[in-house]
Chains A and B, each alone.
Chain A
Amino acid sequence: MAQATHTRKARPISPHLQIWRWGPGMAVSILHRATGSALSFGGLGLLLCWLGCLASGPETYALFLQQAGSWYGRIVLIGISWTYFNHLVSGLRHFLLDIGAGFEVSSNNRWSAISPVIGIVLTAAFWACLLSH
C-alpha cells in the first residue's frame, strides 16, 4: 500500500494555491473560502458567545459588552463584519455564475475585482450607521 503511494505519479488533486495561477477570479474564490471558514469559527463563535451571555443574564452580558467595547474587541467585531460582507458579496457573485452569467474573461475579471471592494464599502457603511447612534 505504502509502496503504491510512492510509485504513483503526483497528480493535481484539488484547487490549491500552488497549482493555480493568480488572477482576480482565483483570488476572489480563495477569499470566499477563507472568509467562509473564518465566519464558521469566528462569526458563529461570536454569535454563540453573544447569545450565551445574553441567556446567562445581565451580569454575564455586561462582561460581553465590556470585551466588545475594548479596542481589541472592536478589531475582532470589525474583522468579523468584514468577513461577513465579503462572503455575502462573493456569494452573490457565485449565484450569478450559477445561472451561467459572467464567465467571459473581461466581465469575470471585472466583477472579481469589484466584489471585495463592495464588501469593504458595505462594512464601512454598516459601522457608520452603527456608530452614528
Chain B
Amino acid sequence: MGNGTSVGRVRGLGSAHSGAHHWLVQRFTAIGNLVLTSWFAVSLLGLPNFSYVTLRDWLVSPVSATGLCLLIISVFWHARLGLQVVVEDYVHEHGAKFAAIAALNLAAFGGAGFGLFSVIRLALGA
C-alpha cells in the first residue's frame, strides 16, 4: 500500500491555477520598478545637493511624494514575490518554508508601511 510515485500522485490533477498569477505580477511590478526607480535615479541626479532642506523641499511636492509612495509599494511587492521563489527553491522542509514565507510577508508589509509613513510624514510637514 504505497502512495504512488511523486509523478503518479499529481498526474491528472491539472495545473495548480496559481503560478501564472505570481509570474505575471512579478512582471507587472518589474515594469513599475523600471519606471519608478529610473524616475527616482534621474530625480536624485537632478538635485543640486543632498542636504536635509533640499530633499525635504523635493519630497514636499505632490508628484515626488506620490512617486516615492508608488515606488515603495512596487519594489516591496516585487521583492516579496522574488524572495518567495528563492525560499520555495531552497527551503524544502514544510515547517521551515511556512515560517520563512510568513516572516517574509511580515517584513515586506512592515518595511513598506514604514517607508510609506516616512514619506507621508515628510510630505505633510515633519
Cβ contact within 8 Å between A126 and B41: yes
B34 contacts the other chain (CB 8 A): yes
Q: A44-B75, A44-B111 are in contact. Are A14 and B50 (CB under 8 A)?
A: no
Q: 6 interchain pairs (CB within 8 A)? A: A37-B83, A47-B72, A51-B114, A54-B56, A55-B119, A94-B30
- Bound together, the chains give a CA A19 to CA B123 distance in angstroms of 50
Cβ-closest chain A residue relative to B41: A126
Cβ contact within 8 Å between B122 and A44: no
B73 contacts the other chain (CB 8 A): no
Binding site for B on A (CB under 8 A): 11, 13-16, 33, 36-37, 39-40, 43-44, 47-48, 51-52, 54-58, 61-62, 65, 84, 88, 91-92, 94-95, 98, 126, 129-130, 133
Cβ contact within 8 Å between B114 and A130: no
* Residues of A contacting B: mostly: helix
- Bound together, the chains give a CA A94 to CA B48 distance in angstroms of 35
Binding site for A on B (CB under 8 A): 6, 27, 30, 33-34, 37, 41, 44-45, 48, 50, 52, 55-56, 59, 68, 72, 75-76, 79, 82-83, 86, 89-90, 92, 111, 114-115, 117-119, 121-122, 126
Cβ contact within 8 Å between B86 and A55: no
- Bound together, the chains give a CA A130 to CA B79 distance in angstroms of 26
Cβ contact within 8 Å between B92 and A133: no
Cβ contact within 8 Å between B92 and A13: yes
Cβ contact within 8 Å between A33 and B122: no
Cβ contact within 8 Å between A37 and B37: no
Q: A51-B115, A54-B59, A91-B34 are in contact. Are A14 and B122 (CB under 8 A)?
A: no
- Bound together, the chains give a CA A92 to CA B33 distance in angstroms of 11
Cβ contact within 8 Å between A40 and B118: no
